[in-house]
Amino acid sequence: MEDTLKFTVLPGDGIGPEVMAVALEVLEKVTSDAGLKLDYSTHDVGGAAIDSQGSALPASTLKACEAADAILFGSVGGPKWENLPPAEQPERAALLPLRKHFTLFANVRPGLLYPELLDASPLKAERIPEGIDIVCIRELTGGIYFGQPKATRDLPDGDIEALDTMIYRKSEILRIAEVAAQAALTRGKRVTSVDKANVLTTSVLWRKVVTEFFAEKYPEITLNHMYVDNAAMQLARSPNQFDVLFTENMFGDILSDEMGIICGSLGMLCSASLGAHNNRLGHPFGLYEPAGGTAPDIAGQGIANPCAQILSAALMLRYSFGRDDLAKQIEAAVKATVQAGTRTGDIAFGTDSVSTRAMADAILGRL
């Protein structure tokens, strides 16, 4: 088994470097206890890279990412760079090229709400007394957002029409289904595939491919299908009926945001974007980042919630380094810390809040 974990650290802007420092401490602790070494280098990205090198994704940063097995990403952007032309702004000029360069086709977002944080959710507490624990997996590089042709054209009758193309190949469906299966195997072994097979031809293919794939390759996983309109309602009505929910790009864009809001605080939400190619260890190359942004309103104050970044690091251990055991250790330590009442301001709800440092120490103390 590989004893060195090689990854690239891109802290970014705002609270990014503050929470990244803590996530690295947590990684150091959990991996050294397991006899592993970390091999990482840190590089500018986003606004910090625009300031230091004139580009949100400098060639040297991209090169470092290519040489690694995973990317641990903070967040990018902030008021300082908001007046740049849209294509040069940190998020668009750093994250989109990274997604494209590494064909990051699978976005994995855990929807996690501990019962102690029910106040963070807009759902009624009695609907989710045990909190929420689901995962949403979104296809990220195909479907209507990228399908060609796209066009706007003037018609002979004086009207105007616009066109987007929704297109999926069997191979694209199979690779996202594999990610859903892998996620389900580390959890409750239940997968819900979301489509619109009563209307869309792409969904008819999606449903057929997914049905055959799970029957042949993962008979131990319980698969069911749901139309996207129903899935949106069911998420708000009873989210825990899902274990792993997976779907195409546009449906996933909408459902994963709905899931984010019902789970409450941005400071707790992590994500993984997995690549089409395996890393040197035979696991998916991936980019791991919090769901939230750079939180300019609290940056520099030492009060940001580091949990989303720490949980993103846990996802990196699970998916890119094949260490589900270590990921679970981190997840358990974060959960126990929050449940014991150690909380940053965003999840304190009127109780005493602690600094990023104190939160970090409490989590480290539980590892």
- Of the residues 71, 270, 295, 310, which one makes contact with ligand NAD according to CB under 6 A: 295
Rounded CA-CA distance 214/164 in Å is 30
Q: Which of 29, 40, 80, 145 is catalytic?
A: 145
Stretch 301-340 residues interacting with ligand NAD (CB under 6 A): 304-305, 308
Would you count residue 111 as binding ligand NAD (CB under 6 A)?
A: no
* Contact criterion met (CB below 8 Å) for 10 and 56: no
Would you count residue 261 as binding ligand NAD (CB under 6 A)?
A: no
Q: Which is nearer to ligand NAD, 200 or 310 (CB)?
A: 310
Would you count residue 77 as binding ligand NAD (CB under 6 A)?
A: yes
Stretch 14-53 residues interacting with ligand NAD (CB under 6 A): 15, 19
Query: Residue 19 contacts by C-beta under 8 Å, 6 or more apart in sequence?
Result: 74, 290, 304, 305, 306, 308, 309, 310, 356
Residue 53 class from Cβ within 10 Å (0-12 exposed, 13-18 middle, 19+ buried)?
middle
Let me know if 39 is a catalytic residue.
no
Q: Which is nearer to ligand NAD, 89 or 320 (CB)?
A: 89
The one-character DSSP state at 95 is I
Would you count residue 292 as binding ligand NAD (CB under 6 A)?
A: yes
Would you count residue 159 as binding ligand NAD (CB under 6 A)?
A: no
Q: How many positions of this chain bind ligand NAD (CB under 6 A)?
A: 22
Stretch 79-108 residues interacting with ligand NAD (CB under 6 A): 91, 95
Let me know if 157 is a catalytic residue.
no
User: Where are any strands of DSSP class E within the chain?
Assistant: 4-12, 37-42, 71-75, 104-113, 132-139, 151-154, 160-163, 190-195, 222-227, 244-247, 270-278, 284-290
Would you count residue 346 as binding ligand NAD (CB under 6 A)?
A: yes
Q: Work out how close the CB of 27 gets to ligand NAD at its nearest, in angstroms, rounded to a whole number.
A: 17
Q: Work out how close the CB of 328 gets to ligand NAD at its nearest, in angstroms, rounded to a whole number.
A: 22
Query: Residue 90 contacts by C-beta under 8 Å, 6 or more apart in sequence?
Result: 12, 13, 45, 46, 47, 50, 56, 76, 77, 78, 81
Site residues (vs ligand NAD, CB under 6 A): 15, 19, 75-78, 91, 95, 266-267, 289, 292-298, 304-305, 308, 346
